[in-house]
């Protein structure tokens, strides 16, 4: 089968084109680095089927990061039949830098000039024909998003792939052309090397990989270096080559694109929006407000505070006496998320009743297994699905419009002062979705220390699976104690996660993970309105993932939990109210005392072990935390013959009642679960991405952070004056680090001098 590779800069639209060509639904994100591994699919509309490979985005073929190496090696070693080089027309000159390098490889090639719709919309024009003549490679104008020009692109690519192509270079007129030629002849002469032109140029650039591969030729280059006399670059050949490329590009292509319309000061529409959204002072508050709005719309039971403001009369929307009672709220309007939650909650309740009624003739324990065990576990999670989807709909809109990339940019400006790079914030923000792809995305970070630190804090960016923990417990607190708002509590916990992440990175950067942060060269993508299809694909992915998990891991865990909570050590089925004799209770009670500083240890009454057990099952999948509470709640509150699958919030209130746990302890419980060892899948990913030693320390780090954060929350929440003790500890730590750093650089400098 023919094989075509998609190569281009990050964020140039490769994955969008890939999805368009292959009909697949790979993740498209409006920020660089979303695709870090190569993906394959099939294009079927040509004379023969063509395998399409989506490569990670890169700026250059001189690799520094693992993803750049993947792309370079793929083109060189796998010899695709054609390379489709995607060029973002709105960033033409920067994108062509990579083009001038791919050209040097002996591989059939075509340029897809993407985002043509964006160019036209901004009032600019682009001239693909002239470009093709000048660069000597077929150019097709396309819009991957709108599906314009795709068929023509593939038709021409198909023609191109039938002919061999020799590499060409734009460095012909550069000061180094003689040297390049000599090295090329030497390489070809050996007869062993494919792509002599490409390798010759990389060797002249003194590319690390190339120097290792062709040690025998280093002398040739070195000899030339002696004779080379350039005032500007000295003997930094890499810089000479880069400079020649850019000179060629701007001499030939600056006229291909007539710049978009801008006002007198030269601002485009995106620039103007950015003046406000990425403002030095307003940027952060706007970010926080936007995030709060998202949480408010998803979790609030008093939408826009209409109830608090007295705009809604009491019982206005309670729909008393109808089947919709309480759905929309009473005395206040529920947010869309809460309305859907209530709706699903009553549906699952009704479904449970039907099933229990149908099982009337079965034995007591079978009914309990189905109702409390299986349905209780799954339903307590499933009812949160609407809220998860709404939250992710908002996140997707923010991401697709280009705002999330700004968020990273705003945060970068602040955290750079503390030695962190904003580039690391992109994978962190991805962590809001799921830690697994986020950890893989850290491959875009060049610095190994920064990568490790980032992987460690990604789980603190609370993922979708942790959301039910936050929502159920926040809901439980509001219901049981009548204090606070669910949206404020969830939002604060998210902010807490971010804060802990930042503090941890600062701490690591100043102690074990020293090093300069790499510069943040992210280009801010232009704003565009989110695509409906794209948003739906994201959500559909979430639904599929969620349902699959609910009926596999969570179902299996719930059944296991039910069994070990309903049987004793001698494997007897326990009669009513003896759950404390169960296997599960035994294990839980053994570990429980450890959590006393966090408020859910020894101080809780007899059912206190439930929290410990829930946290442990969360190590398999974080949804399990609430699913476990769901499985145990009915039994605990009313004996073994409960047979009602309680929703997530109801199970939490039941357990609060039974254990008399306090609010600070509940908050500590949330924080502990958010920051402790993540789910099994995330742990496996971290293990694959880190060295063995660093991985072991990472596990310890997660345990330590969650224990400390949980304790601080519980203790300060219970005894306010203890804030001062922690403040002193924090102060001493900071002073200690500062003093230690004062001493360290002096030693380092001395080493450099030697």
Of 145, 249, 679, 712, the one binding ligand GDP (CB under 6 A) is 145
Stretch that binds ligand GDP, among 110-118, 273-281, 601-609, 687-695 (CB under 6 A): 110-118
3-class SS letters over 245-278: HHHHHHHHHCCCEECCCCCCCCCCHHHHHHHHHC
Q: Which residues contact 414 (CB under 8 A, 6 or more apart)?
A: 284
d(CA 128, CA 111): 10
Which residue has the closest beta carbon to ligand GDP?
Answer: 13
Cβ 35 to Mg ion shortest distance, Å: 3
| Residue from 4, 6, 7, 15 binding Mg ion (CB under 5 A) | 15
User: Of ligand GDP, Mg ion, none, which one does residue 447 interact with (CB within 5 to 8 Å by kind)?
Assistant: none
The 614-653 site mask, x for binding ligand GDP (CB under 6 A), equals ----------------------------------------
Q: Does residue 22 belong to the site contacting ligand GDP (CB under 6 A)? A: no
Interatomic CA distance for residues 160 and 82, integer angstroms: 7
For residue 460, give the DSSP letter.
G
Neighbours of 446 (CB within 10 A): 16
Q: Assess 9 for contact with Mg ion (CB under 5 A).
A: no
Task: Tell me 567's DSSP state.
Answer: B
Residue 322: both structure tokens together = 């109808």
The residue among 14 and 566 lying less far from Mg ion, judged by its C-beta, is 14
| CA–CA separation, 720 and 44 (whole Å) | 67
614, 625 Cβ separation under 8 angstroms: yes
Is 558 a residue that touches ligand GDP (CB under 6 A)?
Answer: no
**Residue 115 partner contact from Mg ion, ligand GDP, none using kind-dependent CB cut-offs of 5 to 8 Å:** ligand GDP
Q: Which does 623 bind (CB under 5 to 8 A by kind): Mg ion, ligand GDP, none?
A: none
* Minimum separation from the CB atom of position 482 to ligand GDP (A): 44
Where do we find the tokens 């692109």?
153
Q: Measuring CA to CA, which residue among 346, 341, 298 is closest to residue 324? A: 346
Residue 295 parent element (H or E): helix 283-299
Residue of 2, 4, 5, 11 interacting with ligand GDP (CB under 6 A)? 11
Phi, psi of 140 (to 5 degrees): -125, 130
CB 445, min distance to ligand GDP, A: 16
CA 630 to mean position of chain CA atoms:
29
Residues 56 and 53: their CA atoms lie apart, in Å, by: 10
Q: According to the binding rule CB under 6 A, does residue 29 interact with ligand GDP?
A: yes
Q: In this chain, which of 2, 7, 12, 371 binds ligand GDP, going by CB under 6 A?
A: 12
DSSP per-residue string spanning 574-604 = --TT-GGGBHHHHHHHHHGGGGGGGTSSTTS
CA nearest to 596, candidates 686, 718, 498:
718
What lies within 8 Å, CB to CB, of 120 at 6+ separation is: none
Of the pair 34, 690, the CB lying nearest Mg ion is at 34
Q: Contact between 407 and ligand GDP (CB under 6 A)?
A: no
Does residue number 144 form part of the binding site for ligand GDP (CB under 6 A)? Answer: yes
Q: Which is nearer to ligand GDP, 113 or 382 (CB)?
A: 113
Residue 435 makes contact with Mg ion by CB under 5 A: no
CB of 284 to ligand GDP, least distance (A): 24
By CB under 6 A, tell whether 14 contacts ligand GDP. Answer: yes
Q: Residue 38 binds which one of Mg ion, ligand GDP, none, with CB within 5 to 8 A depending on kind?
A: none
Enumerate residues 346-375 that contact ligand GDP by CB under 6 A. none
Task: Please give the distance of CA 252 from its chain centroid, rounded to a whole number.
Answer: 39
Please identify which residue in 104, 118, 207, 650 interacts with ligand GDP, judged by CB under 6 A.
118
**Beta strands of 74-232 (E only): which ranges?**
82-88, 109-114, 125-126, 139-141
Compute and round to an integer the Cα radius of gyration of the chain: 30
Mask of contacts with Mg ion, 32-61, x by CB under 5 A? --xx--------------------------
The burial class, CB within 10 Å (0-12 / 13-18 / 19+), for 23 is exposed
Between CA 206 and CA 238 the distance in angstroms is: 7
Q: From the CB of 9, what's the least distance to ligand GDP, in Å?
A: 7
Site size toward Mg ion, by CB under 5 A: 4
Q: Number of C-alpha atoms within 13 angstroms, CB side, residue 543? A: 10
Segment near ligand GDP (CB under 6 A), from 24-32, 408-416, 601-609, 684-692?
24-32
Q: State in angstroms the smallest separation of the CB of 91 from ligand GDP.
A: 11
35 binds ligand GDP (CB under 6 A): yes
**Near ligand GDP by CB under 6 A: residue from 81, 301, 345, 400:** 400
Q: Which helix (H) or strand (E) holds 216?
A: none
- Partner from Mg ion, ligand GDP, none contacting 143, C-beta within 5 to 8 A by type: ligand GDP
Treating both helix axes as pointing N-terminal to C-terminal, what angle do 609-617 and 663-675 enclose, rounded to 10 degrees? 20
User: Which residue, 34 or 161, is less far from Mg ion as judged by CB?
Assistant: 34
Residue 243 or 523 having the CB closest to ligand GDP: 523
Query: Would you give the end-to-end CA distance of the chain in angstroms?
Result: 58
Query: Is 426 an interacting residue with respect to ligand GDP (CB under 6 A)?
Result: no
In this chain, which stretch among 137-145, 513-521, 612-620, 723-731 interacts with ligand GDP, using CB under 6 A?
137-145
Least separation in angstroms between CB 538 and ligand GDP: 11
CA–CA separation, 158 vs 3, rounded Å? 10
Choices 28-36, 83-91, 369-377, 730-738 (CB under 5 A): range interacting with Mg ion: 28-36
Based on the shown chain and the rule CB under 6 A, indicate whether residue 84 belongs to the binding site for ligand GDP. no
Q: Whole-number minimum distance, CB 528 to ligand GDP, in Å? A: 5
Taking alpha carbons only, the member of 278, 354, 709 closest to residue 507 is: 709
Q: Which is nearer to Mg ion, 14 or 199 (CB)?
A: 14
By a kind-dependent CB cut-off of 5 to 8 A, residue 10 interacts, out of ligand GDP, Mg ion, none, with ligand GDP
In the bound state with Mg ion, the residue whose beta carbon lies nearer, of 15 and 114, is 15
Closest CA to 80 of 40, 101, 108: 108
Q: Using the rule CB under 6 A, give the single segment among 112-120, 158-166, 455-463, 645-653 that binds ligand GDP.
A: 112-120
Strand-strand pairing, 82-88 and 109-114: parallel
Residues contributing to the site for Mg ion (CB under 5 A): 14-15, 34-35
Residues contributing to the site for ligand GDP (CB under 6 A): 8, 10-16, 28-30, 34-35, 57, 114-115, 117-118, 143-145, 400, 528
């Amino acid at each position: 089968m023919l094989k075509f590779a998609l190569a281009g800069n990050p964020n140039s639209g490769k994955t969008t084109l890939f999805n368009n060509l292959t009909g697949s639904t790979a993740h498209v994100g409006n920020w660089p680095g979303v695709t870090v591994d190569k993906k394959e699919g099939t294009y079927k509309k040509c004379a023969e089927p063509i395998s399409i490979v989506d490569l990670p985005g890169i700026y250059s073929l001189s690799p520094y990061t693992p993803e750049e190496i993947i792309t370079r090696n793929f083109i060189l070693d796998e010899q695709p039949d054609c390379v489709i080089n995607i060029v973002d027309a709105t960033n033409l000159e920067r994108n062509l830098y990579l083009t001038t390098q791919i050209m040097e490889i002996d591989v059939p090639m075509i340029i897809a000039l993407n985002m043509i719709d964006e160019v036209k919309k901004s009032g600019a024009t682009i001239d693909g024909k002239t470009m093709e003549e000048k660069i000597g490679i077929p150019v097709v104008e396309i819009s991957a998003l709108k599906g314009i020009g795709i068929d023509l692109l593939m038709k021409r690519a198909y023609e191109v792939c039938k002919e061999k192509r020799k590499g060409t270079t734009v460095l012909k007129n550069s000061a180094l052309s003689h040297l390049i030629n000599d090295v090329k002849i030497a390489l070809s002469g050996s007869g062993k090397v494919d792509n002599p032109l490409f390798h010759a140029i990389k060797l002249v650039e003194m590319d690390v990989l190339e120097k290792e591969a062709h040690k025998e030729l280093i002398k040739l280059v070195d000899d030339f270096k002696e004779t080379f006399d350039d005032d500007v670059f000295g003997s930094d050949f890499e810089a000479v080559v880069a400079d020649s490329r850019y000179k060629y590009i701007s001499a030939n292509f600056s006229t291909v694109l007539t710049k978009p319309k801008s006002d007198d000061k030269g601002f485009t529409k995106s620039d103007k929006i950015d003046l406000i959204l990425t403002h030095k002072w307003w940027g952060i508050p706007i970010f926080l407000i936007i995030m709060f709005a998202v949480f408010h719309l998803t979790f609030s039971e008093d939408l826009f505070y209409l109830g608090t403001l007295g705009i809604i009369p009491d019982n206005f929307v309670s729909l008393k006496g109808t089947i919709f009672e309480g759905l929309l709220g009473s005395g206040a309007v529920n947010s869309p998320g809460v309305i859907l939650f209530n709706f699903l909650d009553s549906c699952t309740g009704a479904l449970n009743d039907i099933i229990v009624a149908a099982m009337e003739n079965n034995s007591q324990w079978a009914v309990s297994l189905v109702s409390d065990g299986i349905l209780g576990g799954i339903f307590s999670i499933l009812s949160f699905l609407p809220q998860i989807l709404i939250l992710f709909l908002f996140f997707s809109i923010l991401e697709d419009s280009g705002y999330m990339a700004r968020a990273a940019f705003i945060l970068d400006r602040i955290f750079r002062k503390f030695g962190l790079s904003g580039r690391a914030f992109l994978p962190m923000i991805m962590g809001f979705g799921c830690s697994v792809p986020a950890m893989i995305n850290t491959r875009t970070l060049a610095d190994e220390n920064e990568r490790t630190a980032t992987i460690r804090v990604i789980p603190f960016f609370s993922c979708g699976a942790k959301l039910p923990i936050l929502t159920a417990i926040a809901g439980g607190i509001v219901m049981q104690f009548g204090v606070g708002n669910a949206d404020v509590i969830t939002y604060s916990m998210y902010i807490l996660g971010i804060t802990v992440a930042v503090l941890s990175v600062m701490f690591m950067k100043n102690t074990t993970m020293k090093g300069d942060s790499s510069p943040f060269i992210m280009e801010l993508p232009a704003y565009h309105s989110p695509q409906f299809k794209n948003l739906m694909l994201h959500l559909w992915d979430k639904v599929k993932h969620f349902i699959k998990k609910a009926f596999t891991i969570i179902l299996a865990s719930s059944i296991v939990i039910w069994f070990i909570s309903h049987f004793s050590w001698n494997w007897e089925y326990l009669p009513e109210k003896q759950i404390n004799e169960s296997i599960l209770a035994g294990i839980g009670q053994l570990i429980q005392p450890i959590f006393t500083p966090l408020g859910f240890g020894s101080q809780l009454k007899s059912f206190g072990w439930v929290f410990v057990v829930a946290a442990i099952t969360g190590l398999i999948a974080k949804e399990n935390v609430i699913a476990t509470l769901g499985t145990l709640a009915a039994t605990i509150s009313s004996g073994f013959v409960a047979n009602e699958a309680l929703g997530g919030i109801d199970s939490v209130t039941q357990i609060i009642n039974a254990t008399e746990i306090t609010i600070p302890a509940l908050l500590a419980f949330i924080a502990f679960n958010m920051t402790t060892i993540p789910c099994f899948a995330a742990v496996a990913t971290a293990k694959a991405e880190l060295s063995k030693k660093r991985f072991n320390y990472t596990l310890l780090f997660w345990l330590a952070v969650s224990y400390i954060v949980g304790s601080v929350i519980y203790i300060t929440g219970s005894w306010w004056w203890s804030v001062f003790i922690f403040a002193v500890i924090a102060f001493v730590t900071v002073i200690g680090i500062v003093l230690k750093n004062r001493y360290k650089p002096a030693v380092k400098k001395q080493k450099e001098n030697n």
